[in-house]
Amino acid sequence: MSAVTSLPTFKPQFALVVPTFNPGREAWAQWVQALQSQNCKPMQVVVVDSGSTDGSLDLSQQAGFTVLHTKAQDFNHGATRQWALDQTLLAHQTENLSPEFAVFLTQDAVLAHPNAFEELLTPFEEPKIAATFGRQMPKLDASWLETHTRAFNYPDISRTVQLQDKASLGIKACFLSNSFAAYRLQDLMAQGGFPAHLPLGEDTYTGAKFLLSGQSLRYQATAAVYHSHNYNGLQDFQRMFDTGVFHAQNPWLLQNFGKAEGEGTKLVKSQWAYLKAHASQSNCPSLLQGICQWLTVNALKLVGYKLGQVHQWLPSALVRKFAMNKVFWQPNK
């Protein structure tokens, strides 16, 4: 009888990078506990803190995390993450074993199950996959609109996306979220790392570059976190204003993948169907209340996005008022 040769187990070596700013001591303790329960652990956890004063730094140090410090006024979605990653790689330069992958989480994205990292990283066994991102499920306090948006953007079916998929997915093809994502470092660095000088969207920007380079993105629905926001009307407006600025400053994105309005229309129609089916159930309001919320929120989002697209024609004081990421508009940025 011939001996059975076992296949090598995929054991990814990865670093975890997490930006923090006053996550709240209790909430951060839950985040740390979920991390420590993982059956696939990072080589190093790097916390990039922007001046927290809520006691969360003590918990990070007790957990053995590497803490890097920056100023809140210097935080940049792409540049700060890249700086933290560069520091991490530099620290491993003299070691025999350096991370092959980098995982990014946000302070409010709580790992949903012990094999979240394992599931997120397994797709990298396919060489063409440059980045993966996981499912984001709503928290218990999520509004009906946010609950629906999470399901719309993060379904329960995984998929691998290639450049040709833009024909059916449009701009959604390059969708990628650093709230819970992983990158093959060789591929990320080949693109020059994360871009700086963006109000947001460093993840989508990088995902689009990967696709245009012939690589693939993987949405891994079996890797999940709890992550949602109950934005008020002003915050919805501001978030979409920043998105409009991002698209206006990167016209190549829409030229290659199509306009964002098409995806927005699909979302609005899906919200309406969800409201009709779930009115007065669970966290869903009555149909009349829901219609008012649905109309108001989407009107604010549309106006915010359109104004963001023409931000260069607006007074600078008004731009800063409309923006969610106000640091981006500081004179020295």
From residue 267, give the alpha-carbon distance in Å to each of 1, 25, 137, 152: 59, 35, 17, 7
pLDDT value for 330: 83
pLDDT value for 5: 46
Q: Can you say how many angstroms the Cα of residue 18 is from the centroid of all Cα atoms in its chain? A: 11
Task: Tell whether the model's pLDDT for residue 10 goes beyond 80.
Answer: no
Average pLDDT value for residue range 306-317:
96
Contact 138, 147 (CB under 8 A): yes
Q: Which of 92-106, 119-133, 164-178, 297-311 has the lowest mean pLDDT?
A: 92-106
> Which residue in the block uniquely carries the two structure tokens 């396919």?
126
Domain map (residue ranges) of the chain: 14-229, 234-329
d(Cα 270, Cα 41) in Å, to the nearest integer? 37
Beta strands (DSSP E) in the chain are: 14-20, 44-49, 66-69, 101-105, 110-111, 129-137, 159-161, 180-184, 216-226
> 261 or 40: whose pLDDT is higher?
40
pLDDT value for 11: 80
d(Cα 304, Cα 243) in Å, to the nearest integer? 9
Q: Could you report the per-residue pLDDT of 179-196, keeping only the tens digit for each?
A: 999 999 999 999 999 999
pTM: 0.92
d(Cα 116, Cα 104) in Å, to the nearest integer? 13
Residues 6+ apart with CB under 8 A from 228: 136, 137, 138, 139, 142, 146, 147, 150
Task: Tell whether the model's pLDDT for residue 7 goes beyond 70.
Answer: no
Average pLDDT value for residue range 224-228:
97
Residue-level length of the chain: 333
> 212 or 331: whose pLDDT is higher?
212
Q: Could you report the per-residue pLDDT of 237-287, keeping only the tens digit for each?
A: 999 999 999 999 999 999 999 888 788 889 999 999 999 998 878 778 889
Q: Could you report the per-residue pLDDT of 45-100, keeping only the tens digit for each?
A: 999 999 999 999 999 999 999 999 999 888 999 999 999 999 988 877 766 678 99
Contact 217, 283 (CB under 8 A): no
Instruction: Give the residues across from 111 on adjacent strands.
Output: 225
Q: Which of 97-111, 151-165, 252-266, 312-326 has the lowest mean pLDDT?
A: 252-266
> 92 or 221: whose pLDDT is higher?
221
From residue 317, give the alpha-carbon distance in Å to each of 76, 237, 242, 325: 20, 16, 15, 14
14-229 is a CATH 3.90.550.10 domain: yes
